[in-house]
Amino acid sequence: MALVAGGPVPPGFATAPVEAARRALLSKRAGEVARHWPLLAAGLGAAWPATFTEWAAGRPGNGSLRDGWDLARELRNHGALPPLGAEELATREVTLRYDGRSRPRPRRLPAVARTGGAVAVQLAGRVRLLRPATR
Amino acid sequence: MQLRQFVRGRRMRRWRMRRITGRALPTAAPSASSTSPYGVGIGWRPEIAGFVADLPGLRFVEVVAEAVAPAGPLPKGLAELRGRGVTVVPHGVRLSLGGAEPVDPARVAHLAGVAALVDAPLVSEHIAFVRAGGLEAGHLLPLPRTREAVAAVVANVRRAQAELPVPLALEPIAALFGWPDDELDEAAFLTEILDATGALLLLDIANVHANARNRGGDPHTLLDRLPLERIAYVHVAGGAEQGGFYHDTHTDPVPTEVLDLVRELCARRRPPALLLERDGHYPPAVELRGELDALAAASGYPVIT
Tens of pLDDT along A40-65? 999 999 999 999 999 999 888 899 99
Question: What pLDDT, on a 0 to 100 scale, did the predictor assign at position B7?
Answer: 46
Confidence category of residue B139, pLDDT binned at 50, 70, 90: confident
Q: Report the predicted TM-score, pTM, of the whole model to 2 decimal places.
A: 0.85
Q: What angle do CA B223, A14, B226 make, to 5 degrees?
A: 10
> Are the Cβ atoms of B176 and A18 closer than 8 angstroms?
yes
Average pLDDT over residues B175-179: 91
**Percent of chain A surpassing pLDDT 70:** 99
Which residue of chain B is at minimal alpha-carbon distance from A14? B177
* Burial of A21 (C-beta count, 10 Å sphere; 0-12/13-18/19+): buried
Residue A35 belongs to some domain of the structure: yes
A1, A28, A64: best to mutate for the B interface, most B CBs within 10 A: A28
Residue B181 pLDDT greater than 90, yes or no: no
Please answer whether residues A133 and A118 qualify as being in contact, where contact means their C-beta atoms are separated by less than 8 angstroms. Answer: yes
For the stretch B47-104, pLDDT in tens is 999 999 999 999 999 999 999 999 989 999 999 999 999 999 999 999 999 998 999 9
Give the number of other Cβ atoms within 10 Å of residue B112's Cβ: 22
**Percent of chain B surpassing pLDDT 90:** 81
Residue B27 pLDDT greater than 70, yes or no: no
Residue A34 belongs to some domain of the structure: yes
Question: What pLDDT, on a 0 to 100 scale, did the predictor assign at position B115?
Answer: 97
- Among B148, B108, B144, B140, smallest CA distance to B19 is for B108
Please answer whether residues B37 and B269 qualify as being in contact, where contact means their C-beta atoms are separated by less than 8 angstroms. Answer: no
Of A4, A13, A31, the CB nearest to B137: A4
* Least reliable range by pLDDT among B3-17, B19-33, B44-58: B19-33
DSSP for A53-80 reads: HHHHTT-----HHHHHHHHHHHHHHTT-
3-state helix, strand, coil in chain A (%, to 5): 50, 15, 35
Question: What pLDDT, on a 0 to 100 scale, did the predictor assign at position B298?
Answer: 98
Q: How far apart are CA A90 and CA A88, in angstroms?
A: 6
Quote the domain boundaries for residue A70. Answer: 15-131
Residue A3 belongs to some domain of the structure: no
Residue A1 belongs to some domain of the structure: no
For the stretch B296-305, pLDDT in tens is 999 999 999 9
Residue A112 pLDDT greater than 50, yes or no: yes
> Are the Cβ atoms of B139 and A25 closer than 8 angstroms?
yes
Question: What pLDDT, on a 0 to 100 scale, did the predictor assign at position A8?
Answer: 85
**Percent of chain B surpassing pLDDT 70:** 89
> Are the Cβ atoms of A14 and B137 closer than 8 angstroms?
no
> Are the Cβ atoms of B214 and A17 closer than 8 angstroms?
yes
Residue B228 pLDDT greater than 80, yes or no: yes
Bridge pairing between strands B60-64 and B39-43 = parallel
Q: How far apart are CA B196 and CA B203, in angstroms?
A: 18
Residue B14 pLDDT greater than 60, yes or no: no
* Mean model confidence pLDDT for chain B: 90
3-state helix, strand, coil in chain B (%, to 5): 45, 20, 35
Residue A2 belongs to some domain of the structure: no
Q: Who contacts A76 (Cβ-Cβ below 8 Å, separation ≥6)?
A: A86, A89, A115, A116
State whether residue B123 is helix, strand or coil: strand
Task: Please state the domain count of chain A.
Answer: 1
Residue A119 belongs to some domain of the structure: yes
Question: What pLDDT, on a 0 to 100 scale, did the predictor assign at position B137?
Answer: 84
Q: Compute the Cα dihedral for B219, B221, B226, B231 and give only its sign.
A: positive
Confidence category of residue B134, pLDDT binned at 50, 70, 90: confident
Question: What pLDDT, on a 0 to 100 scale, did the predictor assign at position B11?
Answer: 52
Confidence category of residue B32, pLDDT binned at 50, 70, 90: very low
For the stretch A18-43, pLDDT in tens is 999 998 889 889 999 999 999 999 99
Residue A19 belongs to some domain of the structure: yes
**Percent of chain A surpassing pLDDT 90:** 76
Confidence category of residue A83, pLDDT binned at 50, 70, 90: very high
Residue A59 belongs to some domain of the structure: yes
Question: What pLDDT, on a 0 to 100 scale, did the predictor assign at position A29?
Answer: 92
Confidence category of residue B33, pLDDT binned at 50, 70, 90: very low
A1, A4, A33, A66: best to mutate for the B interface, most B CBs within 10 A: A4
Q: How far is A77 from chain B (nearest CA, A)?
A: 27
Average pLDDT over residues B246-268: 97
Q: Give B136's contacts in chain A (Cβ within 8 Å).
A: 4, 60-63
Please answer whether residues A22 and A2 qualify as being in contact, where contact means their C-beta atoms are separated by less than 8 angstroms. Answer: yes
Question: What pLDDT, on a 0 to 100 scale, did the predictor assign at position B239?
Answer: 97
Q: How far is B176 from chain A (nearest CA, A)?
A: 6
Confidence category of residue B9, pLDDT binned at 50, 70, 90: low
Q: How far is B28 from chain A (nearest CA, A)?
A: 43
Q: How far apart are CA A94 and CA A56, in angstroms?
A: 25
Question: What pLDDT, on a 0 to 100 scale, did the predictor assign at position B12?
Answer: 52
